[in-house]
Amino acid sequence: MKLKEYKMLFMELIRYIHEGVHVIDSDGKTIIYNERMADLEKLTGKEVINKPFQDVFKDVEDSTLLKSLNTRTVIENKNQAYINKYGKEITTINTTIPIIDDNKVVAALEIAQNITQIKEMTDTILELQKDIHQPSENKNLRIKQYRFHNITGGSKAFKKTLEIAKRASKTDASVFIYGETGTGKELIAQSIHFDGIRKTRPFIAQNCAAIPDSLLEGLLFGTDKGGFTGAVDREGLFEQASGGTLLLDEINSMPYDTQAKLLRVLQEGYVRRIGGTKDIPIDVRIIASSNEPADVIINSGKIRKDLFYRLNIISINIPPLRERKDDIMPLCEKFIEKYNEKLNKDVWILSDKAKEKLLAHDYPGNIRELENIIVGAISLLDDEHVISDSFVNIHSVSEFKKNTIDYKNDVKEMGLMNIVDSIEKDIIYTLYAESGRNITKTADALKIKRQTLQHKLRKYDIR
Ligand SMILES: Nc1ncnc2c1ncn2[C@@H]1O[C@H](COP(=O)(O)OP(=O)(O)OP(=O)(O)O)[C@@H](O)[C@H]1O
Ligand SMILES: [Mg+2]
């Protein structure tokens, strides 16, 4: 490719990417300033391009671009906030790098990623958590509180787990819960709290995998004005959970650096908001959970050993459902009772064949999967009282397995189209059952035409 063509390609790239891009040359003059950047900074390309940086921007002392140019430093993932032309606060993560050729700095490049929506999401989580735990202000948002009497299961393996969990509820020690997806980690964590000594104080659960790394610390520890431009003073989950329990779900997804900070907070007993200077004493019980076993996450480096030992004072393992098949029938009874009431049905029992089918399955999605199978069956019944095996839909590639599909092996075995079909069948089956077999609602939910849905229902023999 000719240089001119490269240039064209480059300019198109800059025009269409979602990040803001700003480049200054060695004299501090702007040579590239794309529209995204202009949007973020409430300026136009015309006002900036070919002008000396100092003439356009006032806060040159704080400028990461000039700093990068003058000191040859890379400034990575720095939080920044702007107010845009509509008065809305925009949050970005910026990375600034010097371009060095032949030991000479020829330019500095800044890339800004707009994370406003993600930031708003974490803010919303904090607000919602607050509402949940100050129920007098907003009663609708109260979450269901699980306690030990809501837990079903008398199998030997599960009884052992429950025994330890009940003892844990009488103490204040940190707990580490391991269980595959859908085994009831949240249920056990809540029961430890709501049947324990801290029950009158908040229970807050945070999934560490659901929040982008750059925002998790702010969410946990709070932020302080000055942490980054535009940051607000806001308490984090540690402060919100004061006196209560904080469940750190999927702790194995917490970034390594954050784990070190968490450990420090736990050891020192106080928290410092991001960008703050004050140490705030905290009194929070920690329950951590993981859907991978402890040895696996330690050996693969997903959890720091020192943090793990601090959390694993009491260790609770929840066995998967396939290792406690005695619990399947009692759980079915419980779910039939629950959904009779919810869906206004009058189901009494499962047919023998249906029971057989349920007992033979190995439940990669554990109790959640079993619950969904029962809901699916019940919602397909009209005024029948017996769930026959034809209504028990055991998914071939269950939705719970999607994340853990061994693609290479499964594709070899089943072929791509069969896997895609079985996932499609799963989704359609679930939504169709949930809608009470309503074609219009299901087609809407799937964003496909009614005719297409009808065709697929016939194809997969979903009734
Ligand atoms: N022993 C039980 N008795 C009754 N219901 C249960 C039991 N165990 C789990 N459930 C139900 O199964 C569902 C999944 O439970 P929960 O959310 O606690 O699982 P989890 O281990 O946290 O799953 P994930 O790893 O996906 O977060 C919930 O609806 C819960 O009510
Ligand atoms: Mg969970």
Q: Where are the domains of the chain?
A: 3-113, 118-319, 322-391, 397-459
Distance 151 CA to ligand 1 centre (A): 9
Give the whole-angstrom CA distance, residue 314 versus residue 316. 7
Contacts with 262 (C-beta within 8 Å, 6 or more apart), sequence order: 220, 248, 254, 307
- Whole-model pTM: value is 0.68
Task: Output the ligand 1 site: residues, CB below 6 A.
Answer: 151-153, 179, 181-187, 291, 367-368, 371
Q: Which atom of ligand 1 is nearest to the CA of 190?
A: 18
Q: Exposed, middle or buried: residue 99 (CB in 10 Å: 0-12, 13-18, 19+)?
A: middle
Residue 322: pLDDT over 90: yes
Distance 146 CA to ligand 2 centre (A): 13
The residue among 276 and 283 whose pLDDT is bigger is: 283
Give the whole-angstrom CA distance, residue 306 versus residue 279. 23
Q: What are phi and psi of 9, to 5 degrees?
A: -60, -45
Average pLDDT over residues 240-245: 94
What is the total residue count of the chain? 463
Place of tokens 């050891």: 267
Helices (H) and strands (E) in the chain, counts: 20, 14
CATH code, 322-391:
1.10.8.60
CATH code, 118-319:
3.40.50.300
Q: Which ligand is nearest to the CA of 366?
A: 1
Residue 131: pLDDT over 80: no
Q: What is the average pLDDT score of the chain?
A: 87
Q: Is 226 left (phi over 0), alpha (psi -120 to 50) or beta?
A: left
Determine the pLDDT at residue 140.
Answer: 44
Q: Give the pair of three-digit tokens for residue 81.
A: 């906030």
Determine the pLDDT at residue 79.
Answer: 80
Instruction: Give 417's pLDDT tier (boundaries 50, 70, 90).
Output: confident
Q: Which atom of ligand 1 is nearest to the CA of 249?
A: 27
Q: What are phi and psi of 247, to 5 degrees?
A: -95, 115
Hey, how many other C-beta atoms are within 10 angstroms of the C-beta on 332? 24
Place of tokens 């356009």: 56
**Dihedral angle of Cα 159, 162, 167, 169, to the nearest 10 degrees:** -160
Determine the pLDDT at residue 159.
Answer: 96
Place of tokens 């299961």: 153
Q: Give the pair of three-digit tokens for residue 250.
A: 């999927």
Give the whole-angstrom CA distance, residue 300 versus residue 317. 19
Instruction: Give 110's pLDDT tier (boundaries 50, 70, 90).
Output: very high
Q: What distances in angstroms separate CA 111 from CA 37, 85, 403, one per listed residue?
A: 9, 20, 32
Q: What are phi and psi of 255, to 5 degrees?
A: -55, 150
- Residue type (1 letter), 18: H
Tell me the per-residue pLDDT of 20-36, one tens digit each, with 9 for 90 and over: 999 999 999 999 999 99
* CA angle, residues 231, 233, 239, in degrees to nearest 5: 125
- Percentage above 90 pLDDT, the chain: 56
Determine the pLDDT at residue 141.
Answer: 44
Say which range, 17-21, 247-251, 407-411, has the weakest mean pLDDT: 407-411
The residue among 319 and 10 whose pLDDT is bigger is: 319
Distance 203 CA to ligand 2 centre (A): 14
Determine the pLDDT at residue 134.
Answer: 57
Query: Domain 3-113: which CATH class?
Result: alpha beta
Determine the pLDDT at residue 231.
Answer: 57
Does residue 381 contact residue 391 with C-beta atoms inside 8 Å?
yes
Determine the pLDDT at residue 309.
Answer: 97
Tell me the per-residue pLDDT of 326-383, one tens digit each, with 9 for 90 and over: 999 999 999 999 999 988 989 999 999 999 999 999 999 999 999 999 999 998 888 8
